[in-house]
């Protein structure tokens, strides 16, 4: 082979999966794609994803790479995999990339979106793709809190307590909050995110929106560097990995 890699861009509905990462005896996104690759090529192929989405989290633009053991062209990878993958996972595109490419380490920017369905009544049609918050939320307070959270901070208070990542300093470039009817979409952009970081940010923003936490507490929460300071983790079904940008 030429030493080139294949980069896949993937969409999935994470509802019925135990997250991205392969695990023994559990159905995962990575495991399901590796199984389809083995069916397609007859060879075991290990794929490497840009990020490990949690159980129930969705993706419009997850990225993964692998070393192809057979010289299929990109369109053959797309069609072959889409014919074998279940309805809740699909390959949106495939391209050849240099051997130096790495789905995770070459990533320059990631964008996540989190959807809240904010209404006194639950919504059957959004139950798999949004967090239902029935109390009224004060968006202007949430926007003020989001401005304090944006920027270059130590995000230990917003990182899963058990995370092994040592460098907790992240440049959170953007938090944008938009509301349309009962739907609130919060978009996050950064070069990288810590484990559970987006869901923890959303949990904190919703506490502020509900009036349980004050905007003035944000600085202290960041400075305290303690996960216990920052409130609950938002549920997974509202979270979407939207895009990953490379050089």
How many residues bind a copy of itself, per CB under 8 A?
21
Among residues 34 and 207, whose Cβ is nearest to a copy of itself? Answer: 34
The correct pick among 4, 11, 144, 165 for binding a copy of itself (CB under 8 A) is 11
Report, in Å, the least distance between residue 36 CB and a copy of itself.
13
Concatenating the DSSP letter of every residue in the chain gives: --S-EEEEEEEE-GGGSS-SS-BTTB--HHHHHHHHHHHHHSS----EESS-PPTT-EEEEEEEEE--SS---HHHHHHHHHHHS-TTEEEEEEEEE-TT--TTTTEEEEEEEEEEEESSS--GGGTTTSEEE-S---HHHHHHHHHHHSEEEE-GGGS-TT------EEEE-EEEEEEETTEEEEEEEES---TTHHHHHHHHHHHHHHTSS-GGGHHHHHHHT-GGGS-PPPPGGGEEEEEEEE-
The correct pick among 58, 110, 213, 227 for binding a copy of itself (CB under 8 A) is 58
Site string for a copy of itself, 116-155 (x = CB under 8 A): -----xxxxx-x-x--------------------------
Among residues 113 and 159, whose Cβ is nearest to a copy of itself? Answer: 113
Residue 10's Cβ-side half-sphere holds a number of Cα atoms within 13 Å equal to 33
Query: Is residue 180 within the footprint of a copy of itself (CB under 8 A)?
Result: no
Of the candidate spans 19-27, 85-93, 160-168, 185-193, the one that interacts with a copy of itself by CB under 8 A turns out to be: 85-93
The correct pick among 5, 7, 8, 13 for binding a copy of itself (CB under 8 A) is 13
54 is catalytic: yes
Report, in Å, the least distance between residue 55 CB and a copy of itself.
16
Query: Is residue 72 within the footprint of a copy of itself (CB under 8 A)?
Result: no
Catalytic residues: 54
Q: Report the interface residues with a copy of itself, using CB under 8 A.
A: 11-13, 58, 60, 78, 82, 87-93, 121-125, 127, 129
């Amino acid at each position: 082979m030429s030493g080139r890699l294949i980069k896949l861009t993937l969409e999935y509905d994470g509802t019925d999966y135990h997250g991205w990462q392969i695990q023994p005896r559990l159905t995962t996104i990575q495991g399901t794609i590796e199984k389809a690759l083995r069916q397609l090529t007859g060879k075991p192929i290990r794929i490497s994803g840009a990020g490990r989405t949690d159980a129930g989290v969705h993706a419009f633009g997850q990225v993964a790479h692998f070393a192809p053991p057979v010289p299929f062209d990109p369109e053959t990878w797309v069609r072959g995999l889409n014919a074998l993958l279940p309805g809740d996972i699909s390959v949106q595109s495939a391209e050849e990339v240099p051997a130096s490419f790495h789905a995770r380490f070459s990533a320059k920017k990631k964008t996540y979106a989190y959807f809240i369905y904010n209404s006194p009544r639950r919504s059957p049609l959004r139950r798999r793709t949004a967090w239902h918050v029935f109390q009224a939320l004060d968006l202007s307070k949430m926007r003020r809190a989001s401005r304090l959270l944006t920027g270059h901070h130590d995000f230990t208070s917003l990182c899963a307590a058990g995370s092994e990542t040592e460098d907790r300093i992240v440049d959170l470039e953007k938090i944008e909050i938009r509301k349309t009817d009962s739907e609130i979409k919060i978009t996050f952009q950064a070069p990288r995110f810590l484990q559970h970081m987006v869901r923890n940010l959303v949990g904190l923003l919703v506490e502020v929106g509900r009036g349980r936490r004050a905007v003035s507490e944000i600085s202290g929460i960041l400075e305290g560097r303690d996960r216990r300071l920052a409130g609950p983790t938002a549920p997974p079904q509202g979270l979407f990995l939207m895009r990953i940008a490379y050089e």
